[in-house]
Structure 1
Amino acid sequence: MILAALGAVAVFISIIGYVGSVRAEVGVKTDVLQLKRNIPAFSPVTADDLNRIQVPKKWSPNTMVTDLSQLEGKVAAADLLAGSFLQTGMIVPGPTLQPGQREIAIMIDAETGVAGKVHEGMPVDIYATYQAQKGNAQQSCAARIVRAARVIQIGQETQVKDAKNSSVTESQVPITFALSAADSLKLTREESFAEKIRLALIGGSGTGVDGVKLPPVCETVPAR
């Protein structure tokens, strides 16, 4: 009996040791999200589409989606299959346009037009400057062409050749705006004729049109 009891204790200790070694080998666990069902491309991924399961942290890459808050405003980047573990590359930002809005991008001077102050989501006024020759005089004008345009994307700075002198390059940044159909058309036209286009941040809440009327400012000087 004593030998049997000692044998049982030895077996129990062996089992505990084995379980402990397995736990040590597996390590700490972390939550990941697994798809319950297929998700069509560009469809939202919601909590109802997911199961939360635990896997060893060392087997979970940093690209795994681990929190539902990471899904806010996101949609499937492609058709997603049930059973897949959700990763950041499988979701992309959803549409940011309101009904009737257009997405339009133009090139802006990196220094005078943006200067590191403009960020995605900010509302800005868009200004343009023009020059025209009138007989022996030169007229220059500045005008606000779009009010409270919402910036939805800022691209990478790039070097662009000057239209008048190909040996000169300028640093420009593509800026994408969400605009009404009328403002999109107006911006497209004015960009073709303007000498320069600049952005101006709006003070205060900046949530909408401020109601301030700004007629074009023009000056005529004798030609040099």
Structure 2
Amino acid sequence: MSERPYAPACDRNRDPILGVLREQFADRRDVLEVGSGTGQHAVYFAAAMPWLRWQCSDQAASLPGIAMWLDEAALANTPAPVELDVAGGPWPRADNDDGRFDAVFSANTLHIMGWPEVRAFFAGLATVLTAGAVVVVYGPFNYDGQYSSDSNRDFDGWLKARDPRSGIRDAAKVDALARAIGLRLVADVAMPANNRCLVWKRDAVAVSS
């Protein structure tokens, strides 16, 4: 039997992220995780916040590994992972009456995607979020075109050497995409290892179809 995929960084960052999610998702019900990776975050957060239905998603190659983590944890609030390529869709639907999610979480994804995929990420969110939805994105960001640390500068160089389309994103440019779909930045939380949690809330009246 294959071993479950494992990312040490997930164990290091899960508790600081959980502190943000406990506050921001306290009154949420249906969460879509975009880019669930190994599945480690999903089982940890879903176990800690049993009032949430935590829907994992990722590209097809990652789904078997995510399923291993979900199957071993056997939590009641983690349905089977679903395939999602943000650039190509289709975006998943929530298991509720309107098929929309009132929360989205994504960790360490925007700097892996190319910029067209980052734009597609927010365009896709516009089709699946409820009014008043909360979106939390974790990862490194630049501010005013500047790196926040030497380690982030080195990491960005590594990313670009691996894939020139990738790279640490400027928080203001990402926020502009969020604002274009009716999301308002409500928190920017400093995290360990020069990462951030950006938190947006959607306007409570307008929902795109």
The structure in which a higher percent of residues are strand is 1
TM-score bin (small chain): under 0.3
Higher alpha-carbon Rg: 1
Q: TM-score, normalised by structure 2?
A: 0.20
